[in-house]
Chains A and B, each alone.
Chain A
């Protein structure tokens, strides 16, 4: 119980800071973080990468952009336009060490002052490209998925904790689901208080959800805000 409440407060704190829509507030509020490598300060292992394998930060190629947009559109549909074309500033995607970062051009210009091996993260990390050029989205993208999500799933208070530990959502834990959800549609998972908890993939259509037995999985877990604590090392 204590752990659940801690997790929830952490999730809430994290999300409250970032919950406001990126468009309303200025770019200073959206997570424009420039981190510098701090060796040995946390005690966690820092990635030891050989110099010759760090490629410079660069914009995405056409194929990579296409792959990433396809993944994003599974969750937010045509609202990607709002991310690409923003009225309150020029924001862009850049690739650094196989990870895709979303940042404003001001931050980008600041980031050029760091050498490649010392630059850990710029702006918000949306995800990474695997070795076989597949795009894998990280939980850090939730800030930009939640306000624009097309298909949402609300989860009951009892199942929140289970989901935050990385389990799938069963039918018994399902509170609400957007109508017309297709099977294997990307969905954003919310708590009943409209706090985004993570995202996943719908295992059943809305119609089917109503029929199945309470023990079957309705949403496959993909990322949740508990990962900020569990996978601290691998998130950048």
Chain B
């Protein structure tokens, strides 16, 4: 019994060991390729397609990933390690896999004038010595530069050639020639740069030109004005002289991906300024008000005339017709132009944006089904005043209808009447015939 159990125990122990080792060792047919610097492991083993199909795919992939990661970690453990503050750190080697470029490769510079010429002539670059033997100073001096070997500007004796002017200063002549060579060299260098970057030669002042054009002169003037200690800030200007344009300054724009919040702030501020500068809609209101006033006067005058002429000859039939049209209008929502052509409008429309509260000063019995019954003392909300003398309003209970304007009065007016002690006006709620002016649907 005991022996069996011991054997069992040993077997179990061995199995455990094997398990532990197994968890760390991975068997692969082909070894993986590692790039420990980039923490990269390339597995070139074949994958059976049957492993990838079906529902065991996830398990398969997970075990594969686990194995490969284990191998990579094993590889990392092979690197030299050191201890840094209670952590074991492995020092990774240089990465061997080249990563692709982030930006496109830079373009080649175009060859300079000399390089083009050298290529054409087949001139090879010859390596020259840095130092040259100078006979006079008897020492090795630089080929060019500070204290160079053969500096002809430093000669203490210059022979005057036979053909030269005896009064000419030969030393000054040599210095001037050197300066010109330097300037020419500099200009060629700038031209090379300009050709490479496809820009114009950066200005190095004004070169003398035989015949100066208007542009040259203006540029000369601006350069002269600019060349003061204060860079031309306090120079006087002629009365009608305009500031020079195209001074050649390169415009600086903001960065493409700059600070978005600051950009937003600036734009919002700009909008605020624009809002404050915008004028309110006073003009249209004033114009509309004026138009209404004119309409009212016009309507009052014409209505009086019509009333006298039409009142007597009015047939009930006409009234019904008008009523019918009114009905049609109220129930239809479209057909804008039908009403404008059929019912030939007179004068301008009056539109009332705000509704007013009025008090009934004279009770009114409706003559037509769409009219509102008014009783003394009611407060009516006047919704619109299509006509001079016939308004549309709503009572407290929600009833809506038309009524003559003479039956109601504004609250303030009412008060004054009461204090004044004048009795209520007894106006005739006459139904004056007038061609109905329709109102389009407005938003």
A binds B: yes
- Write the residues of chain A forming the contact surface with B, with a CB cutoff of 8 angstroms: 52, 56-59, 61-62, 65-66, 69-70, 73, 78, 80-81, 84-85, 90, 92, 94, 105, 108-109, 112, 115, 152, 171-172, 174-180, 182, 205-207, 210-211, 214
* Bound complex: CA A179 to CA B351 (Å): 10
CA distance A112 to B257 in the complex (A): 9
Contact B256 A59 (CB under 8 A): yes
Alpha-carbon distance A171/B351, docked complex (angstroms): 20
- A211 partner, pick from B257, B348, B441, beta carbons under 8 A: B348
A-B contact sample (16 more), CB < 8 A, given A62-B270, A94-B256, A115-B104: A58-B253, A61-B253, A62-B266, A84-B268, A92-B263, A152-B443, A176-B441, A177-B443, A178-B442, A179-B351, A179-B442, A179-B443, A182-B284, A210-B349, A210-B440, A211-B345
- A211 CA to B295 CA, complexed, in Å: 13
The answer to whether B267 and A58 have CB atoms under 8 Å apart is no
Known A84-B271, A207-B348; contact A59-B253, beta-carbon cutoff 8 A: yes
Shortest 7 CB-CB contacts between residues of A and residues of B: A58-B253, A179-B442, A59-B254, A90-B260, A84-B267, A178-B443, A210-B349
CB-based contact A85/B264 at 8 Å = yes
Docked-complex contact A69 and B336, CB < 8 angstroms: no
Residue B275, interface by CB 8 Å: yes
- In the complex, the answer to whether A65 meets B256 with C-beta atoms within 8 Å is no
B256 surroundings in chain A (CB, below 8 A): 56-59, 94, 108, 112
Kindly state whether residue B47 has any CB partner on chain A within 8 Å.
no
- CB-based nearest B residue for A109: B257
Provide 7 A-B residue pairs closer than 8 Å at the C-beta atoms, listed in order of the A residue.
A70-B274, A85-B264, A85-B268, A92-B263, A172-B337, A182-B281, A210-B340
* Chain A nearest Cβ from B129, distance in angstroms: 44
Which residues of chain A are within 8 angstroms of B258 by Cβ–Cβ distance?
59
Specify which of B198, B264, B336, B337 is in contact with A84 (CB 8 Å cutoff): B264
CA A206 to CA B271, docked complex, whole Å: 27
Write the nearest CB–CB distance from B421 to chain A, whole angstroms. 42
> Measured between C-beta atoms, what is the minimum distance from A179 to chain B in Å?
5
Residues of A within 8 A of B253 (CB): 58-59, 61
Q: Considering only CB atoms, which chain A residue lies closest to B255 in the complex?
A: A59
Complex partner residue of B336 from A66, A112, A174, A206, CB under 8 angstroms: A174
- Is B194 part of the contact surface with A, judged by Cβ < 8 Å? no
B376 contacts A by Cβ under 8 Å: no
Question: Does B291 lie at the interface of the complex (its beta carbon under 8 Å from any beta carbon of A)?
Answer: yes
0/1 string, B183-209, CB within 8 A of A gives 1: 000000000000000100000000000
Q: Which chain B residues border A52 with CB–CB below 8 Å?
A: 198
Residues of chain B contacted by A171 (CB below 8 angstroms): 337
Q: Is B38 an interface residue (CB 8 A)?
A: no
Please report the C-alpha to C-alpha distance between residue A90 and residue B349 in the assembled complex, in whole angstroms: 47
**Contact call B284/A180, Cβ cutoff below 8 A:** yes
- Residues of A within 8 Å of B278, CB to CB, are 73
Docked complex Cα distance between A206 and B287 (Å): 12
Tell me the nearest residue of chain A to B251, going by C-beta.
Answer: A61
Shortest Cβ gap from B351 to chain A (Å): 8
Count residues of B near A (Cβ-Cβ below 8 Å).
37
B442, closest chain A residue (CB): A179
From B263, B334, B349, B443, name the one whose CB has the most chain A CB atoms within 10 angstroms: B443
Q: Which of A84, A108, A115, A175 has the most CB of B within 10 A?
A: A84
With both chains docked as a complex, state the minimum distance between the C-beta of A126 and any C-beta of chain B, in angstroms. Answer: 14
When A84-B267, A85-B264, A105-B260 are in contact, do A175 and B288 touch as well, CB less than 8 Å? Answer: no
Contacts A70-B274, A175-B336; A81 near B257 (Cβ below 8 A): no
Binary contact readout B262-303 vs A (1 if CB under 8 angstroms, 0 otherwise): 011011101100110010010110001001000000000000
Candidates B270, B283, B340, B441; contact of A65 at CB < 8 Å: B270
One of B255, B274, B341, B443 near A66 (C-beta < 8 A): B274
Q: How far is the CB of B101 from chain A (nearest CB, A)?
A: 12
With a CB–CB cut-off of 8 A, which chain A residues contact B266? 62
Inter-chain contact B284/A205, CB cutoff 8 Å: yes
Inter-chain contacts of A56 with B (CB < 8 A): 256
Contacts of B442 in A (CB 8 A): 176, 178-179, 206
Nearest CB of B to A58, in Å: 4
Q: Which of A61, A70, A81, A94 contacts B268 (CB 8 A)?
A: A81
Q: Which residues of A contact B334 (CB under 8 A)?
A: 175
The listed residue with most B CB atoms (<10 A of its CB), out of A61, A62, A207, is A207
- Shortest Cβ gap from B428 to chain A (Å): 32
Question: Are A65 and B267 in contact, with the CB atoms below 8 A?
Answer: yes
- Kindly list chain A residues whose C-beta atoms are within 8 Å of the C-beta of B257: 105, 108-109, 112
Q: Which residues of A contact B283 (CB under 8 A)?
A: 182
Judging by beta carbons under 8 Å apart, are B263 and A69 in contact?
no
Bound-state Cα–Cα, A65 to B275, Å: 14
Q: When the two chains form their complex, are residues B443 and A92 in contact, meaning their CB atoms are under 8 A apart?
A: no
CB <8 Å contact, A80 and B254 = no
Q: Which residue of B lies closest to A86 (CB)?
A: B264
Query: In the complex, what's the smallest C-beta–C-beta distance from B30 to chain A, in angstroms?
Result: 37
Min distance, Cβ A208 to any Cβ of chain B, angstroms: 9
Distance in angstroms between the alpha carbons of A211 and B255 in the assembled complex: 53
Q: Which of A59, A80, A207 contacts B263 (CB 8 A)?
A: A59
Q: Nearest chain-A residue to B285 (Cβ)?
A: A180
Which B-chain residue is minimally distant from A151 (CB atoms)? B443
B198 shortest CB reach to chain A, Å: 6
Q: What is the CA–CA distance of A73 and B284 in the complex, to the nearest angstrom?
A: 19
Give the residues from 332 to 352 in chain B that come closer than 8 angstroms, CB to CB, to chain A. Answer: 334, 336-337, 340-341, 345, 348-349, 351
A207 and B275 within 8 A (CB):
no
Contacts of A172 in B (CB 8 A): 337
With CB as the reference atom, state the residue of chain A lying closest to B275: A78
- Measured CB to CB, the nearest residue on chain B to A73 is B274
Q: Mark B411-443, 1 if CB is under 8 A from A, else 0.
A: 000000000000000000000000000001111
Minimal beta-carbon separation of A88 from chain B (angstroms): 14
Contact A92 B260 (CB under 8 A): yes
Which residues of A are found within 8 Å of B341, using beta-carbon distances? Answer: 214
Give, as a whole number of angstroms, the nearest-CB distance from B344 to chain A. 12
Within the complex, the shortest CB–CB distance from A204 to chain B, in Å, comes to 12
